[in-house]
Amino acid sequence: MNTETERKFLVLDDTYKAAAYGSSHIRQGYLCSDRRRTIRVRIRDAHAYLTIKGPSLNGGLSRYEFEQEIPMDDAAMLMTMCDPGIIDKTRWLVKSGQHTFEVDEFHGDNDGLVIAEVELASEDEAYEKPAFIGQEVTGYRRYYNSQLRQNPYRLWK
């Protein structure tokens, strides 16, 4: 079974950019998003994916995830069928110890929000936090991408 275990954090400053070994542009839309499941279409640079995620477990630390690469033409068509509120972001990859932190710098309606995630093999796995990592927001629904499309960061202020 494909279970995703990750922690999410706010980012304190932009030093992650100098530490990054790669970045990509991501646009994603949601065909369905509720507490029981999300169905997402993602275009990441020249690749496209369909992802289905189950409900969050253990305070938001883990949940079932199924992801399949799909043809770009299909992704473009599916994006037209998504609910309003496309997520647009740049993802920066930063190595820290044995882990890679994915730092998402949001654009558009979520401009100014930067969140880092680290995937873990288990909920209690140790990891090294880079200096740019701030408050943990794992399990805070307002930081889920599916929620940011409905209640964008620009409306929080």
Q: Model confidence over 85-94: pLDDT tens digits?
A: 999 999 999 9
30 is catalytic: yes
Mean pLDDT of the 18-41 span:
95
Q: What's the pLDDT score for residue 35?
A: 84
Which residue's entry shows tokens 């839309």? Answer: 29
Q: What's the pLDDT score for residue 57?
A: 79
Mean pLDDT of the 8-28 span:
98
Beta bridge partners of 115: 10, 104
Distance (Å, rounded) from C-alpha 21 to C-alpha 130? 14
Q: What is the mean pLDDT of the chain?
A: 95
Question: Which residue of the set 30, 143, 144, 153 is catalytic?
Answer: 30
Write the DSSP string, 32-87: EESSS-EEEEEEETTEEEEEEE---BGGGTEEEEEEEEE-HHHHHHHHHTSPS--E
Q: Are strands 47-53 and 62-70 parallel, antiparallel or unpaired?
A: antiparallel
Q: What's the pLDDT score for residue 40?
A: 97
pLDDT tens digit string along 56-66? 877 778 889 99
Mean pLDDT of the 127-156 span:
96
Mean pLDDT of the 113-122 span:
96
